[in-house]
Structure 1
């Protein structure tokens, strides 16, 4: 489908929504809108010319530093105009990051493990990146690409961040660096002057593609990340498929799209120490200035396990829209199934969110939307517009606290939200809505089913009481 045809189709679909609000969750219209987005997502074009990492001096014995071999292979690929770099079975130690070039497919064959050094000094000098929604310079992500196109990581191999003894211990030390980064954000300090790294304890990401387009990450197994596992920053046209996780170190989010558009996440088995998918879009001033929403994101056929299944926010100041979560289930416990979070520091918008045919086992909260996340920003006036959220065919076996929660603000109530066919076997609180308007609830059973009412007669004695 050409870009012009895509735009024309979206114009028609949005017009139908605008003039026929009663059709807002019509399956035909929702599917047409989703499919128009899918037609734009192709992922990377993979190069045909193959080279082996072994030919550049790598040795998969877990002892030899293979970073020089990766550097040489990437340099050769650049000279060739692109290459498919094959990493055969073995354990490859890396004393430093892999920096991608354009038109490279990195294939980790079954039995291959990239094991990164836990020594922080190996991830210097600083590179352009972001940290919790603020642009800055920091330690290099372990696998990093900046302003590239057509990049892939594929294969049944393992990416092991090996971060348990160093980076995973940094959270207790990060407060000064974290606060300084936010102060620079709010004061709009030029990004070139936001230099962190050594002494600030801000952990790098495991995989980050920044300002890139045409990306595929498929089938690999990810473990022991220093921070977020896959960070897709200001990038577009991406497929994340078949990835497997056992990443339970501190803040090991599975996939974090930020300022990112046209993204397909499918057939992934999550097992993370934090959010499985966390859609973000910049913090406060940086987000407002960038003005590039995260949009056109489809999450389907995934198994969730970890802190939260799908999260939107809280760093989302450029806005989030056109997100589809479909046909997903659970592989274990999640604290919350779907969690949408913002506060009056953020501004921006969250809109056009569709959740269909998803199931969870045991959770604390099933579907939770709050405009007061962490109690931050309550004295500020950057309220977020949260509206047009459509939930259909959502199931859960046990909800320990609350099944459906909507928490708006007086300044910006949450509006145009519908729940259709939500079934929860056991629930502490069925629903809790505050500062909302135009909310629809139909065919929902929250905490079990009520059958046919019993009848009463005089012999029951109730009339004599």
Structure 2
């Protein structure tokens, strides 16, 4: 080996090692540039404009009036005192508004689908379309917040739950429209298609705060951050166990902080997305990026997920100092397939404690075995300081394609105390393992008899 090659090799190895340190400075930079909303001093108490917190009266008109008064005053805070406020229809935000639910206040939405018409522009599992309005909907707003110690109840466990068995035709049609580039204005769903609305959706919004509230019983995804940026979600809690009750779904989202959240969901706790298939790839200029998840308690189906709808790409995701408070099927789950394209890169996960899972760390480029022609790039994934008590299926799974390998995976200080299957590593290159223990740690060898 000549000296020039040796120097190049040493520089390359050093650079690779440095790039896989948890990038605290980058995390700090993201958090520091996220802007909290600035809310004007105007306040309106909903009780003073006709609302009744008796769980029976329809408060739709009072909440609409409160939002209109805020708009007239260039923004303000809508105060919801103690009580149960039934609302037969959606809340549509305007800019510069804080919806503040005081302690023991609950907003309880109706579950009649016709209350959420006319349709609005939204997204459903990665495809843009017109559908029932999300229960709380903000479109092209800035400086908006939902705060306080109260609860938002989506009443999703009855009529909305029954939609799941009937959604197939609408779901398939939406995907056909995506693949065939049907103009969005012609993608009309709503009545007759059974696509459930999200509970809270911020769409094309910026400077968002969701703080300390409790979210229960959503019809579909709980908190959807769609094409939004500069978002802070902190201190909230969940008990939402219906079908597809993801906790937080950043999609085409940028500069997001999720911290101190207590999850209890019927699906993914955090699912980072970026559009589906042809439509997602056409939006590659707006990947989901710069997302920080820290100090959270996971409970539900999966902890942190990237995909499967991620066709515009997902990059710069930082997860740290989280633990489970109950069962998870999978701890960290990166999933895509050959329909998606796009990329998942620069993902750093450290200081995580899992209790019992089916699979602890799972990366697959062949989710559901679907698709062809658009294999995704998965690269630069770093896991460090992760402890798991038990994996009833697999400890670590990495599944690439033979002609599109997953690249540059670092596993450092991983301890999985028991697993049915230790490691399945297929079609990956540059997988670096340091201090990885699955099962009982080996000690010094025993003496020969």
The aligned residue for residue 185 of structure 1 is: 178
Aligned 8 A contact 1:308 1:335 in 2: yes
1:255-274 equivalences in 2 (<5 Å):
255-274=248-267
- Deviation track 1:271-290 (CA, whole Å, cap 9, x = no partner) reads 00000000000001110112
Distance 2:49 2:316 in 1: 44
The aligned residue for residue 5 of structure 2 is: none
For 2:321, which of 322, 327, 332 is the aligned residue? 327
The aligned residue for residue 156 of structure 2 is: 163
Does residue 235 of the first structure (1) align with residue 220 of the second (2)?
no
Distance 1:88 1:435 in 2: 57
Does residue 394 of the first structure (1) align with residue 386 of the second (2)?
yes
1:103-182 equivalences in 2 (<5 Å):
103-182=96-175
Q: How much is the aligned-residue C-alpha RMSD, in angstroms?
A: 1.2
Does residue 34 of the first structure (1) align with residue 19 of the second (2)?
no
The aligned residue for residue 400 of structure 2 is: 408
Does residue 421 of the first structure (1) align with residue 421 of the second (2)?
no
1:47-86 equivalences in 2 (<5 Å):
47-86=40-79
Aligned 8 A contact 1:222 1:229 in 2: yes
Residues 170 and 176 (structure 1), Cα distance of their counterparts in 2 relative to 1, 3 Å cut: same
TM-score, length-scaled by structure 2: 0.96
Aligned 8 A contact 1:17 1:24 in 2: no
Distance 2:12 2:273 in 1: 25
Aligned 8 A contact 2:215 2:237 in 1: yes
TM-score, length-scaled by structure 1: 0.93
Superposed displacement of residue 44, structure 1: 1.7
- Deviation track 1:63-88 (CA, whole Å, cap 9, x = no partner) reads 11101001001001001001111100
The aligned residue for residue 452 of structure 1 is: 444
Matched pairs, number: 438
The aligned residue for residue 18 of structure 2 is: 23
Does residue 337 of the first structure (1) align with residue 337 of the second (2)?
no
Aligned 8 A contact 1:155 1:218 in 2: yes
Superposed displacement of residue 17, structure 1: 10
The aligned residue for residue 430 of structure 2 is: 438
Does residue 286 of the first structure (1) align with residue 279 of the second (2)?
yes
Superposed displacement of residue 26, structure 1: 2.4
Distance 1:206 1:37 in 2: 27
Superposed displacement of residue 388, structure 1: 0.1
Distance 2:218 2:226 in 1: 17
Aligned 8 A contact 2:42 2:70 in 1: no
What 5-or-longer segments of structure 1 have no aligned partner? 1-15, 461-465
Distance 2:198 2:21 in 1: 39
The aligned residue for residue 8 of structure 1 is: none
For 1:363, which of 341, 357, 362 is the aligned residue? 357
Superposed displacement of residue 19, structure 1: 8.4
For 1:91, which of 59, 84, 107 is the aligned residue? 84
Residues 220 and 130 (structure 1), Cα distance of their counterparts in 2 relative to 1, 3 Å cut: same
Superposed displacement of residue 18, structure 1: 11
